Amino acid sequence: MAEHGSPPPSPRPEGGGDHGSLRSQAETVQSRGGPSTELILDANGLHSFYGVSHILHGVDFSVRKGETIGLMGRNGMGKTTLIKSMLGLVRPRQGSVRVRGVDMTHAATHAIARKGIAYVPEGRGIFPNLSVRENLIMAARPGIDGRREWDYERVLHTFPRLGERINNGGAQLSGGEQQMLTIGRALMTNPDLLILDEATEGLAPLIAKEIWSIIKTIRASGIATVIVDKNYAAVMALANRSVVLVKGRVVFAGESSELSGNQELMHRFLGV
């Protein structure tokens, strides 16, 4: 309908102060002083495959600044695949991934990480031949806005156990210590968002408890977190919102209390 003389307002590159593009800027408000509704990560309509196996069927997933999201679902429902699809480790065949409003659907993983997203993968990813100190120092870098809140000293303060093992090689650490080192390394990058995939898997209860308390500390420091863990009660106690996957589809997305207070849903979606 629009005549040639009145083109629709087109989104302007950075800094266009005109009111015409307010709508497109609403989701890309700059971090400094921006409202807490700012989206760090925003995935829409993701379809991912392994060969011919269709795993994700149009998944939407978003994380706002400072928010904690519980990503839940039984084994094999697609949680890890969703995370990998948002980080460039699995290429979605359809759908989009935006980081701070910028399309990163086809971006390399390291480019996405440079935008302030840290990932603690299932099964740990430390350098076994490097010492604890070397593992941490190698990861150090300022955050996206130059923040250096998390440094070597603060990580050691948060994980006193790592301090005791500072010259040990990664391979000499216990499972719990390796997990702490993986999280410590992620924090050294000063992320805005930390994604934890089964961080307490296979750990003794006491060590798992320590990891949970560390996750609380991280969350309280303002870092947004996505938590995947089989301890649903612990996840929902921390998460502002919960998302549940069943066979690669989102079957619940909302307030964690809505889910935890509904036994029928908990049973149907999570089998508990």
Q: How far apart are CA 7 and CA 229, in angstroms?
A: 50
Contact 82, 119 (CB under 8 A): no
Task: Please pick, from the candidates 73, 116, 170, 191, the single residue that binds ligand ADP as defined by CB under 6 A.
Answer: 73
Count, residues near ligand ADP per rule CB under 6 A: 11
* 77 near ligand ADP, rule: CB under 6 A: yes
Q: Taking CA 79 as the corner, what is the angle to CA 77 and CA 81, rounded to the nearest 5 degrees?
A: 100
In the complex, what is the shortest distance from the CB of residue 132 to ligand ADP, in angstroms, rounded to a whole number? 28
CA distance 142 to 182: 18
Q: Is the dihedral of CA 40, 45, 51, 53 positive or negative?
A: positive
Residue 98 within binding range of ligand ADP, rule CB under 6 A:
no
- Count of CA atoms in the C-beta half-sphere (13 A) of 264: 0
| The one segment of 28-36, 78-86, 151-159, 263-271 that binds Mg ion by CB under 5 A | 78-86
The least CB distance from residue 204 to ligand ADP, in Å, is 22
Beta-sheet strands, E only, within the chain? 39-50, 53-64, 68-72, 94-99, 102-103, 117-120, 193-197, 224-228, 241-246, 249-255
Residue of 6, 10, 75, 263 that binds ligand ADP (CB under 6 A): 75
Residue type, 90: V
Q: Does 173 interact with ligand ADP (rule: CB under 6 A)?
A: no
Q: Which stretch binds ligand ADP (CB under 6 A): 13-21, 74-82, 108-116, 188-196?
A: 74-82
Does position 162 bind ligand ADP by CB under 6 A? no
Asked whether position 85 contacts Mg ion by CB under 5 A, the answer is no
Which residues make Cβ contacts (< 8 Å) with residue 151, sequence separation at least 6?
A: 140, 188
Residue 80 touches Mg ion, criterion: CB under 5 A: yes
Q: Does 78 bind ligand ADP (CB under 6 A)?
A: yes
Q: How far apart (Å, rounded) are the C-alpha atoms in residues 133 and 168?
A: 8
Shortest reach from residue 91's CB to Mg ion, in Å: 18
Taking CB under 6 A as the rule, which mask of x and - marks residues 42-71 in contact with ligand ADP?
--------x--x-x----------------
117, β-bridge pairs: 193
| C-beta of 74 vs 154, nearer to Mg ion | 74
- Judged by the rule CB under 6 A, the positions of this chain that interact with ligand ADP are 50, 53, 55, 73, 75-81
- Judged by the rule CB under 5 A, the positions of this chain that interact with Mg ion are 79-80
